[in-house]
Amino acid sequence: MKSIKIINGLVPDFEKMLMIQKDILLEDGKISQIGNISKEADINIDAKGKIVSPGFIDIHMHEEELDMTEKDPYFIAYYELKMGVTTCVGGNCGANRQSVEDFVGYIQQHGSPVNYMMYLGHNFLRSAVGVEDRYRASTKNEIEQMKKLVRKYVPTGIVGISYGIEYSPGIETEEIIDLARNLDSDKYLLSAHFRSDVEKSVEAITELIEISKMSKLPMQISHIGSCSAYGYMDEGLKTIIKARMEGTDIFADCYPYDAFGTFIGSAAFDDGCFEKWNRTFSDVLLTEDPFKNMRCTEEIFFKARKEYPDMIAVAFVMNESEIIQALQAPFVFVGSDGVYRKDSGHPRGAGSFPKVLSRYVRENKNLDLVDALWKMTQGPANRLRLDQKGEIKTGMDADITIFDSETIKDNATFEQPTLSPDGIDYVIVNGEIAVENNQVKNGRLGKFIRYSLK
């Protein structure tokens, strides 16, 4: 493996909450030296005027459905890599897009564009034991079968269990707690897509806090923006702060967009959704043929739900000021929630991290640069028990993103949701150059990372 020396760059120091100029040497996949480095390296990068950050960690995304008919089955992982993400956590919102074993097995054998970690999804388990009706609770017998599956998947190195309650409204709180308690360590992490949004969002957050208390497991509330950014963010954040002050381990993540995106056939678009959001059919954009980039009419909306339920739809329904408010909360990380079907989807999976750094750090000054970087690196690393990532320190994994804070910019749009950003010079994964000037040089440097219970 070639050694890499990066000189003159500004590195975030999360203890002092400052940017500090440091030279760093990468050898054998690790950061081997920091400071005055006399040793010669095989590759030299002059990062003068640039930010040398730990690689971004996307604690909330949706992995690809590996397409084995393609020469290269990855797609989302490339969009993530090109926006500076070096570690992704898939399996969120209760969903796995193939069995965890198959996904992990593929990465272990072939590598991956990014490092991957994986949740085990509750709705995936429900469907595996035959609960096809999303509006009913699981029976005792079905829950017992799911518990067996949890025990089967634990050895693959899962982060914990993810829930997608809104997607299966029949799920009872008891079922959630029962499964969570079946995990054999209190170090596992739960993540949950809440039960409902808008005026029921506070109730939904309270349920997730209860689940954390009852299961004695930490809880990661998924994309809090799409839960509460309809006039309810204030109350939602206060509810979390109160729980945290009482010792319940709650964090959340948020993507920097005021539109959400999910499958048009999902329960999120059930009857009553437009009344609740105070919006209408034309506030929903469809992303694939025969309706690609078309706003819905009543007729198209129902036709798409019936005939193309797996098509991703984008709903322009939230308030940006409340997304900013969420991103400013100290317990909220940046997480993309990126989800694509090949190149169709919501731009957040290709733009979230650069968008925070351009729009909310540089342009609007809603966040300080170091604070924003913490939410993308050390914050999620700590949460995921990744003691080798999230910080530029001797001995840490050499996952590095080098960018220009003056020019970094997301380019992905709702019409072209996979366009890669500007301003990212290098992305280094496990000590080797994965991306140079927006071009992928090596898309197999990532590994599967087993969740650590140590």
Q: Give the interface with Zn ion as residue ranges (CB under 5 A).
A: 93, 193, 222
Q: Report, in Å, the least distance between residue 94 CB and Zn ion.
A: 8
* 319 token code pair: 């308030």
Which residue, among 7, 14, 3, 4, has the nearest Cα to 330 in the 3D structure? 14
Q: Report, in Å, the least distance between residue 195 CB and Zn ion.
A: 12
Q: Which residue's CB is nearer to Zn ion, number 348 or number 383?
A: 348
Output Rg (C-alpha) for the chain, integer angstroms.
21
Q: What helix, strand, coil percent values describe the chain, rounded to 5? A: 30, 25, 45
Amino acid making up residue 350: A
CA atoms within 13 A on the CB side of 122: 33
* 413 token code pair: 């749009």
Q: Which residue's CB is nearer to Zn ion, number 93 or number 429?
A: 93
Q: Report, in Å, the least distance between residue 398 CB and Zn ion.
A: 32
Q: Which residue's CB is nearer to Zn ion, number 193 or number 355?
A: 193
Q: Which residue's CB is nearer to Zn ion, number 191 or number 215?
A: 191
Q: How far is CA 166 from CA 24, 77, 235, in A?
A: 45, 26, 20
Q: Which residue's CB is nearer to Zn ion, number 220 or number 430?
A: 220
* 137 token code pair: 């609770």
- Alpha-carbon gap, residue 336 to 126, rounded angstroms: 25
List CB contacts of 141: < 8 A, sequence separation 6 or more. Answer: none
Q: Which residue's CB is nearer to Zn ion, number 54 or number 218?
A: 218
Which residue, among 398, 316, 340, has the nearest Cα to 34 in the 3D structure? 398
Which residue, among 402, 424, 453, has the nearest Cα to 10 in the 3D structure? 402
Which residue, among 121, 73, 115, 78, has the nearest Cα to 97 in the 3D structure? 121
Q: Which residue's CB is nearer to Zn ion, number 93 or number 117?
A: 93
- Alpha-carbon gap, residue 348 to 329, rounded angstroms: 20
Q: Report, in Å, the least distance between residue 301 CB and Zn ion.
A: 20
Q: Report, in Å, the least distance between residue 268 CB and Zn ion.
A: 9
Q: Report, in Å, the least distance between residue 223 CB and Zn ion.
A: 6
Backbone angles phi and psi of 128, in degrees to 5 = -65, -30
Q: Report, in Å, the least distance between residue 400 CB and Zn ion.
A: 29
* 428 token code pair: 């280094």
Q: Which neighbouring-strand residues pair with 4?
A: 26, 43
Q: Report, in Å, the least distance between residue 381 CB and Zn ion.
A: 22
Name the H helices within 198-246: 201-215, 224-228, 233-245
Q: Report, in Å, the least distance between residue 162 CB and Zn ion.
A: 9
Q: Which residue's CB is nearer to Zn ion, number 193 or number 346?
A: 193
Q: Which residue's CB is nearer to Zn ion, number 194 or number 301?
A: 194
